């Protein structure tokens, strides 16, 4: 009887302890592997490449959307993306983004399309290198094939974004109708904010998953990368919320960097985002190594 009471007093059941260990082990191993791979250095390269590729991608996206007769879809995507960013980051990049979107780029599809694709695909190549390190594989594909694949991914991403935003167009329309009838209690506004957050999370997950699957020089399935992708999206949303709160209440980069404060805040946010992206891939790779090791032990 005493032994039974003592065992009950230990709190967690053996099944819960094993489940917690299985969850924590890949996360911890992934973190250590990321540090060993120099992930903190690679994140800086990815952050710079991503910021460098942001405006060419927006130019390409809006031009492609215009050619397809869906300019509003590209505008909605930019609006959704800017709304998910921390305030100071959004204020730093929104003016040049608006300038790019409103400036118009006639002839881009025939003159500068390859330059835009090259700039954006460079960010993908930086991410490819980090993911190959996570999975401990060497790049055996030819350089021209890697670059061609990255350019194709840019095109597919742009088309996918346009399609997704077209399918989401009914949500703002429905909300406008609600406003017309003045049926806007606070609960509805909270639900609308929750819906926008969920849509941002799903869109981000839809962007991360293909990168985790296609970029590494290893055959992977969606269930191999889904845990790390979900973790990365959840971390990114949490960090974005905390970063907004921090800049609003505790810190301002303008004190140290003056007029460049917004640029520094943006670069730091891109750097943290790149770290989260690498970390998600490292968790997937650590989980895959653990499963492979467990299967080998069982067979032996």
Say what angle helices 71-83 and 186-214 make with each other, to 10 degrees.
100
Residue pair 166/203 in contact (Cβ under 8 Å)? The answer is: no
Quick one: DSSP state of residue 140? -
For residue 152, the model assigns a pLDDT of 86
Task: Return the ∠ at Cα 138 (arms to 136 and 143), rounded to 5°.
Answer: 145
For residue 250, the model assigns a pLDDT of 65
d(CA 91, CA 242): 17
Q: Tens of pLDDT along 96-140?
A: 888 777 765 555 555 557 777 788 888 899 999 999 999 999 888
For residue 46, the model assigns a pLDDT of 92
Q: Tens of pLDDT along 234-258?
A: 999 899 888 888 877 766 666 667 7
pLDDT bracket for residue 191 (50, 70, 90): low
């Amino acid at each position: 009887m005493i032994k039974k009471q003592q065992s009950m007093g230990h709190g967690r059941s053996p099944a819960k302890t094993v489940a917690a260990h299985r969850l924590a082990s890949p996360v911890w191993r992934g973190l250590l592997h990321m540090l060993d791979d120099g992930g903190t250095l690679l994140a800086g390269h990815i952050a710079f490449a991503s910021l460098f590729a942001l405006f060419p991608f927006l130019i390409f996206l809006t031009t492609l959307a215009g050619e397809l007769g869906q300019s509003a879809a590209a505008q909605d995507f930019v609006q959704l993306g800017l709304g998910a960013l921390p305030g100071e980051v959004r204020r730093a990049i929104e003016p040049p983004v608006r300038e790019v979107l409103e400036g118009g780029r006639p002839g881009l599809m025939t003159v500068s399309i390859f330059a835009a694709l090259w700039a954006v695909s460079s960010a993908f190549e930086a991410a490819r290198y980090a993911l190959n390190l996570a999975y401990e594989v060497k790049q055996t594909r030819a350089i021209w094939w890697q670059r061609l694949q990255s350019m194709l991914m840019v095109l597919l991403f742009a088309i996918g974004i346009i399609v997704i935003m077209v399918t989401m167009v009914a949500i703002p329309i429905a909300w406008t109708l609600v406003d017309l009838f003045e049926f806007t209690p606070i609960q509805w506004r909270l639900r609308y904010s929750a819906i926008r957050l969920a849509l941002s999370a799903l869109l981000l997950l839809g962007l991360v998953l293909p990168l985790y699957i296609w970029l590494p020089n290893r055959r992977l399935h969606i269930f191999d990368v889904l845990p790390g992708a979900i973790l990365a999206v959840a971390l990114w949303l949490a960090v974005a919320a905390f970063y907004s709160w921090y800049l609003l209440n505790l810190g301002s980069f303008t004190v140290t960097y003056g007029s460049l404060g917004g640029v520094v805040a943006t670069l730091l946010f891109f750097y943290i985002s790149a770290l989260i992206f690498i970390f998600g891939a490292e968790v997937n790779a650590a989980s895959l190594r653990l499963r492979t090791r467990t299967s080998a032990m069982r067979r032996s």
